């Protein structure tokens, strides 16, 4: 695997536009990321992963400065997973001047749920992903369902901007106790790590209730929030939404249940599709 730090090196190493299968990341990789690399590999063509901690998607009070930067370990993992090229630009390389041109996703999708609690987050994500797409010019790009709303926002951007890129969704990788793998799980203390799977169990309970025919969605959401709060969590939202666009569901819609909650100082997100 070659590691490239500049756009010029990347362009030199790529066989041409529309060739690569791309996995964008912010590093501190875990099995979930490696399963996305596996999906990319299955699509043929050189597999390109990027590692770039994108300042634009962090609010000033968030963890940009402390976000774990583990490039050496990440490159070993990527190499082991069969990645061909790692693009790891510096901030000065990707943002050589203040990024005045930005991609603003529509409010109906991007200012709800995560976007309501992290204003500007999806503008930061779309802007860097659009830029990385211009750098790598991939044929396919793989995103995890763990960041469900992000996946929807990126799909919408690709569709509305007519980008010639197929977006592939990877399933959420979980620890044996059900906790969704996340780079931020490393922030949890031992006691918090023991409590953390309760978020996934709460979502599973909601999915079971929906499957059993419970129709009062607002009551289900409120009960789940209260149950988490009673255990010491600070939930931002637990929401039962239409899968297609994360809007308020109508009878018969395919559903997804999404949650974000703080456990101590760590904010965890998770979701489950209702099948
Ligand atoms: O999901 C992530 O790791 C990031 O949001 C992404 C897509 C790499 C953009 O910085």
Residue-wise pLDDT tens digits, 65-104:
999 999 999 999 999 999 999 999 999 999 999 999 999 9
Beta bridge partners of 4: 87
The pLDDT, as a whole number, for residue 219 is: 98
3-state secondary structure of 255: strand
Of 24, 142, 185, the residue with max ligand 1 atoms within 8 A of its CB, to mutate for a pocket test, comes to: 24
Pairing of strands 255-263, 266-274: antiparallel
CA 130 to ligand 1 centroid distance, Å: 11
Give the nearest ligand 1 atom to 154 CA. Answer: 7
Encode 49-87: b = buried (16+ Cβ within 10 Å), e = exposed. bbbbbbebbbeeeeeeeebeeeeeebbebbeebebbbbb
The pLDDT, as a whole number, for residue 194 is: 98
Rounded average pLDDT over 178-203: 97
The pLDDT, as a whole number, for residue 11 is: 97
Q: Cα-flanking dihedrals φ and ψ of residue 46, to 5°? A: -65, 140
Residue-wise pLDDT tens digits, 191-209:
999 999 999 999 999 999 9
Alpha helices in the chain (DSSP H): 7-13, 31-42, 71-80, 91-94, 107-110, 114-117, 121-136, 148-160, 190-195, 198-211, 217-230
- Known catalytic membership, residue 30: no
Question: Which residues approach ligand 1 with their CB closer than 6 A?
Answer: 24-26, 54, 57, 125, 128-129, 147, 150
Q: Which of 5, 33, 61, 214 is catalytic?
A: 33
For residues 259 and 221, give the distance between their C-alpha atoms in angstroms, rounded to a whole number. 10
Of 26, 103, 170, the residue with max ligand 1 atoms within 8 A of its CB, to mutate for a pocket test, comes to: 26
Give the nearest ligand 1 atom to 52 CA. Answer: 10
In the chain, the percentage of residues whose pLDDT exceeds 90 is 99
């Amino acid at each position: 695997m070659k590691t490239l730090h500049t756009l010029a090196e990347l362009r030199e190493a790529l066989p041409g536009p529309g060739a690569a299968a791309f996995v964008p990341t912010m590093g501190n990789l875990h099995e979930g990321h490696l399963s996305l690399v596996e999906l990319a590999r299955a699509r043929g063509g050189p597999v390109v992963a990027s590692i770039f901690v994108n300042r634009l998607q962090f609010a000033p009070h968030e963890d940009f400065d402390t976000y774990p930067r583990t490039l050496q370990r990440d490159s070993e993992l990527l190499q082991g997973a069969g990645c061909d090229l790692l693009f790891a630009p510096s901030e000065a390389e990707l943002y050589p001047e203040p990024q005045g041109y930005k991609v603003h996703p529509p409010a109906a999708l991007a200012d709800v749920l995560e976007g309501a609690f992290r204003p500007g987050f999806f503008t930061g994500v779309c802007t860097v992903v659009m830029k990385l797409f211009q750098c790598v010019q991939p044929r396919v790009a793989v995103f995890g369902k763990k960041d469900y709303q992000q996946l929807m926002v990126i799909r919408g951007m690709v569709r509305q901007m007519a980008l010639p890129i197929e977006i592939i969704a990877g399933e959420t990788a979980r620890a044996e106790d059900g906790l969704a793998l996340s780079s931020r799980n490393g922030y949890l203390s031992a006691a918090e790590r023991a409590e953390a799977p309760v978020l996934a169990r709460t979502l599973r309970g909601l999915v079971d209730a929906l499957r059993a025919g419970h129709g009062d969605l607002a009551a289900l959401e409120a009960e789940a929030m209260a149950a988490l709060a009673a255990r010491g969590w600070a939930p931002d939202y637990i929401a039962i939404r239409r899968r297609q666009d994360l809007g308020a569901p109508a009878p018969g819609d395919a559903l997804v249940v999404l949650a974000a909650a703080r456990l101590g100082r760590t904010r965890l997100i998770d979701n489950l599709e209702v099948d």
